[in-house]
Structure 1
Amino acid sequence: MVIIHKQKAIDKMTESENKSIEISKGINGLEKVILRETRGSSAEVYLYGAHVTSWKNEQGEELLFVSSKAIFNPPKPIRGGIPICFPQFSNLGSLEAHGFARNRVWTIDNDPPPFPPNVANGVFVDLLLKPTEEDLKIWPHNFEYRLRVTLGPGGDLMLTSRIRNTNTDGKPFTFTFAYHTYFSVSDISEVRVEGLETFDYLDNLKNRERYTEQGDAITFETEVDKIYLSTPAKIAILDHEKKRTFVVRKDGLPDAAS
């Protein structure tokens, strides 16, 4: 589970205030779900890839980055937003990079099992992915992947994943997955990441050699491709030019990539 929010004071909302869910056609006729809260925040989720392509705050400012070159045309994955990497993150395995979940069409799950109460606090949509026969040929494991995308009363965005082994023989399997989030920021030189100081990381630009982070915060002057190990539950992304802070809170996801 991962929760992303902007750091600010939030007034309480009453349960009687209206929320809305809209199902419509997006780019190239692909089906999408739009979540809205009365304060003005919104989120947009394409069924193709269960891909969050937009997250706007109360002022209508876009908080995610989607490439102008993004191709909303299966089987190409969408570039930007929040891709779901499953059952493989990166190219560290036998599958295509980042797995196949991001270029499959998910369905709306109208009968999901119960979620914890805090996961239902907001307007949300439940999505479901099951393997096709072609998927089973390249990754022979039956599963049900349930994803809940929630837009909270204060505009927070929460993604909750539950993956169930449905192999009839009970055979276990292993997998890796990630929410490969692209945040909208100003000049990258104005951005810093706090919360990963002193943690070990694998540097993908140096054959995955292991190092320990030495800086007080992570800044960006050159290309960076690192996997931080056993990271804390809270990580902050500070954008000085936009005077905006993203706070990422996670549970059950030990590592973080930058």
Structure 2
Amino acid sequence: MNQSGPAVEVTKDRNGILQVVLRNPRGASARVSLYGGQVLSWRTDRGEELLFASTKAIFKPPYAVRGGIPICFPQFGQRGSLEQHGFARNRIWIIDDNPPPLHPNDPSDKAYTDLLLKPSEDDLKIWPNSFEFRLRVSLTADGNLSLMSRIRNINYKPFSFSIAYLTYFSISDISEVRVEGLETLDYLDNLCQRERFTEQGDALTFESEVDRIYLGSRDTIAIFDHERKRTFLIQKQGLPDVGVWNPWEKKSKTMVDFGDEEYKEMLCVNGAAVEKPITLKPGEEWTGRLELSVVPSS
């Protein structure tokens, strides 16, 4: 069931940019833009949207889209001359004509698409490293969303990168959610010049701006949304760190592509590899995987 099957449809957005729509037999769906290789929508079989997108998001180059799942590569954050969060999230990807085969353990009944990003001449001027970034976005029969990345060094020298899947979850109310799976971890606090602290609480709750990177986390993180009686499960491989972000009231008002009150209905929790960048020798490949699911909870 590859790119041409009944569950996979290629369309265009209003700016003429290609999008791939994945549907499973039960009616769940995901929409992926070739701009940024970005998942913009993930819906349940009842049509309920699980990802947040700002009503003020800008959907055309050179801006990154505020919402969904932007891919931050080859860096997360702001360092050196590279733009914040790297350039992968505002480049046009292509549909991969020569994707790697499905893994033997992969279910055959999932809808998926394979995308590819290679650096342009301009990209090589700002980050002089040749790479192939292959991304497979899958929607399983259960409605789970999976993103699997393969990044290969096709350079003559080693290079290092950091990466994050900046996932904007749609929530009922930021004051009604809690995140579990981060207890006792060290984190870098971006609101305090990346100073290192240790998480003291048994669950993370929100009453002000948060911008942290939790280090060396377990492979499953849960976001409990009490009001909607549902829990997001984030399962990850090859992504040791977890970014948590909510801009809160004051910061929201300074962002042109974000509504003043929208901080109440979104929470970013990101599978990431940030603290220790990944280094690839020539010809080496790194694989990372993120799987998102949603389950009913009390």
| TM-score, structure 2 as length reference | 0.78
**Alignment partner, residue 40 of structure 1:** 27
**Alignment partner, residue 68 of structure 1:** 55
Amino acid at match of 1:148: R
Which of 57, 69, 83 is matched with 1:82 structurally? 69
**Alignment partner, residue 232 of structure 1:** 218
Distance 1:21 1:82 in 2: 19
Query: Is 1:49 matched up with 2:56?
Result: no
**Alignment partner, residue 104 of structure 1:** 91
Shift of 1:115: 4.1
Amino acid at match of 2:130: N
Which of 170, 175, 196 is matched with 1:184 structurally? 170
Match runs of 1:1-258 below 5 Å: 20-119=7-106, 121=108, 122-167=110-155, 169=156, 171-258=157-244
Q: Which runs of 5+ in 2 are unaligned?
A: 245-298
Distance 1:251 1:129 in 2: 21
- Regions of 4+ moved over 6 Å: none
- Give SS of 1:76's match: coil
Amino acid at match of 2:212: K
Distance 1:130 1:138 in 2: 14
> What CA deviation, in whole Å up to 9, does each residue of 1:36-89 have, x standing for no partner?
011010000000000100000011000000111111111111110000100011
> What CA deviation, in whole Å up to 9, does each residue of 1:103-152 have, x standing for no partner?
10000002112242344641100000000000000000000000000001
- Give SS of 1:97's match: coil
Among the aligned pairs, what percent are the same residue?
64
Contact 1:119 1:150 in 2 (8 A): no
Distance 1:119 1:76 in 2: 35
- Give SS of 1:177's match: strand
| TM-score, structure 1 as length reference | 0.90
Q: Which runs of 5+ in 1 are unaligned?
A: 1-17
Q: CA separation of 1:24/1:33 partners in 2, compared to 1, >3 Å: closer, same or farther?
A: same
Q: CA separation of 1:88/1:120 partners in 2, compared to 1, >3 Å: closer, same or farther?
A: farther
Contact 1:120 1:150 in 2 (8 A): no
Q: CA separation of 1:65/1:118 partners in 2, compared to 1, >3 Å: closer, same or farther?
A: farther
Shift of 1:93: 3.8
Distance 2:102 2:82 in 1: 30
Shift of 1:26: 1.3
Contact 1:19 1:38 in 2 (8 A): no
